Structure 1
Amino acid sequence: MSLLEQLNQDMKQAMKNKEKDKLAVIRMVKAALQNEAIKSSHAELSNEEELTVLSRELKQRKDSLLEFKNADRLDLVEKTQAEIDILVDYMPEQLSEEEVSEIVKQTILDVNATSKADMGKVMGALMPKVKGKADGSLVNKLVLQQLS
């Protein structure tokens, strides 16, 4: 089942259960997917493109959550955390830090990277492998650790 089909099904269920917050998040994701489809002029997005949109929406919420915590806006922190929890349900299972570390080590060996100057080469080869399955900042941190 595609992400869009899953969202439609969950949207109907959220309407029946009168879950306003979940319904709002699902509608927001659907709108983002439709906007991306229009922008890329495809009738339908590939699974990878859907995952990219979903990852972007999740990252925006996480960034907002950090800002709200810094501003001591507990009302917005709770709302944003609830949105994040809903979005995480649609993401593929996340890799553990150890799994990401192993993938980083293998990729560094594959591209023969030896210093921080090779960071771009490593990240370019690595990100398609972990797209949507690991946080980019964690991947970046692990690559820097391995290259230094």
Structure 2
Amino acid sequence: MSDTLKDTLQTDLTTAMKARDELRSATLRMVLTAVRGEEVAGKSARTLSDEEVVTVLQREAKKRREAAEAYEGAGRTEQAERERGELGVIETYLPTPLTDEELDELVDEAVLVATGEGLTGMGAMGAVMSQLKAKVAGRADGKRLSGAVKARLQA
């Protein structure tokens, strides 16, 4: 049986604790707590799939990014650096982000399919986005994706 992403996180936490890597172990504890919280949320407990764990990791990464910006804006550089350090640890478990060229290529393909179905202009936005969400899951955030689709549809 292959290891799940959650198993990998747990194993890496143990390794970080043995190595006395405070930043890595604290970050992995925090991420695993978020994963376990997601598992027990709702009406019944469940085990998250790797895709769902990636979604939790993305949410945690976004929190770190926003916190680092807020701390930097408030002149609290030490806390901002800590948040960026945690973000770096989390990003090692996320899929490789799409390059701009790869994203543009996927958007172009999806727009061709939508225009083949008779959709044009911004009216095709929903159809294009629904096609792309599954293809770019975990590799591009929604804001970047919608910006690329809007730019292509308005061109």
TM > 0.5 between the two? yes
Deviation, structure 1 residue 3? 1.1
Is 59-68 or 16-25 further displaced after alignment?
Answer: 59-68
Q: How many Å separate the matches in 2 of 1:21 and 1:125?
A: 38
Deviations 1:45-92 (A, max 9, x none): 112211111111111111222222222221121011101100000011
- The residue aligned with 1:106 is 109
Residue identity opposite 1:141 in structure 2 = G
Q: 1:117–1:76: structure 2 CA closer, same or farther, 3 Å change rule?
A: farther
- The residue aligned with 2:147 is 141
- The residue aligned with 1:77 is 80
Q: How many Å separate the matches in 1 of 2:50 and 2:114?
A: 27
Identity among equivalent positions (%) equals: 34
Deviation, structure 1 residue 42? 4.4
TM-score (norm 1): 0.91
Structure ID, larger Rg: 2
CA RMSD of aligned residues (A): 1.5
Query: Which consecutive aligned stretches of 4+ in structure 1 deviate over 4 angstroms post-superposition?
Result: none
Q: How many Å separate the matches in 1 of 2:130 and 2:68?
A: 28
Q: How many Å separate the matches in 2 of 1:131 and 1:124?
A: 11
Consecutive unaligned residues of structure 2, counting only runs of 5 or more, are none
TM-score (norm 2): 0.88
Q: 1:69–1:92: structure 2 CA closer, same or farther, 3 Å change rule?
A: same
Count of residues paired in the alignment: 148
Deviations 1:97-142 (A, max 9, x none): 1101111111122223422233233222211210111232221221
